[in-house]
Amino acid sequence: MKKRIFVTATNTNIGKTYTTKLLLKEFASRGLLVGVIKPIETGVVDDFAPDGTELLECVKQLNHKLWSMEVDDIVPITYELAAAPFVASNNTPLDLKKIKHMIEDMEASCDVVIIEGAGGLYVPIDEKTMMIDLITQLNAVALLVTHCSLGCINDTLLSQKALSDKNISHAVAFNCRDNYENFKIISEPYFLKTNQTVLKVDEDIVKICDVLYNL
């Protein structure tokens, strides 16, 4: 059984791509063949998918079996408008079969596939589908990437509840960037006091991978 890990976040611009690359590198360092998919990317102008290109360059260095892949093999669905897929696509129904087929093809050359979402959990994809629904539909476990700024307690708890309500196995990682000192004062005490494990993307990627692989 191949491992599928869906990287989501409390909002856009939280650090999903950055975290995904760290996960790929750590799993590869363990001798595992890694793959990556970003099912939907918006803001793709002149056929240039920024996130997809970055992920492709990373994974090709880590898995020799993927050396011939192109961006289209990483990002199956793209839209030009930088907006929620529902808006960017004018409510085009999600082509779930296309995404599933691409993941299954990649799994022929991989032990672990990292699936990077777009935006947060309740970004609408079409009239019937939110980003959170993709996690279940793709039979993946989730990594929730959250920020460390003021407000992260509320944002993290809301997203955790959404995942728990749908019975999605998940871990949480804090991407502190340059906010670590403030986080220790204004937010981390709550998580520690309520017996929640605080894993930081930059410091604890080994532990994060351990947790995800065993979910």
Residues 55, 21: contact at Cβ < 8 Å?
A: yes
Write the pLDDT tens digit of every residue in 128-160: 999 999 999 999 999 999 999 999 999 999 999
Catalytic residue among 3, 16, 21, 38: 38
| Residues forming beta bridges with residue 200, ordered by sequence position | 174
Confidence band for 180, pLDDT divided at 50, 70 and 90: confident
Q: In the chain, where are the structural domains located? A: 7-214
pLDDT of 50 > 90? The answer is: yes
The pLDDT mean for the chain works out to 96
pLDDT at 1: 67
Q: Tell me the fold of 7-214.
A: Rossmann fold (3.40.50)
pLDDT at 7: 98
Annotated catalytic residue 38: yes
The pair of structure tokens assigned to 46 is 């002149």
Q: What is the largest CA-CA distance in the chain?
A: 49
Residues 99, 37: contact at Cβ < 8 Å?
A: yes
Phi, psi angle pair for 122, to nearest 5°: -105, 35
**Arithmetic mean of pLDDT, 34-62:** 97
How many Å apart are CA 23 and CA 206, to the nearest integer? 9
Nearest to residue 50, comparing CAs of 96, 93, 10, 16?
A: 16
CB atoms within 10 A of CB 93: 11
Confidence band for 25, pLDDT divided at 50, 70 and 90: very high
Residues 188, 198: contact at Cβ < 8 Å?
A: yes
Question: pTM for the full model?
Answer: 0.97
Write the pLDDT tens digit of every residue in 87-140: 999 999 999 999 999 999 999 999 999 999 999 999 999 999 999 999 999 999
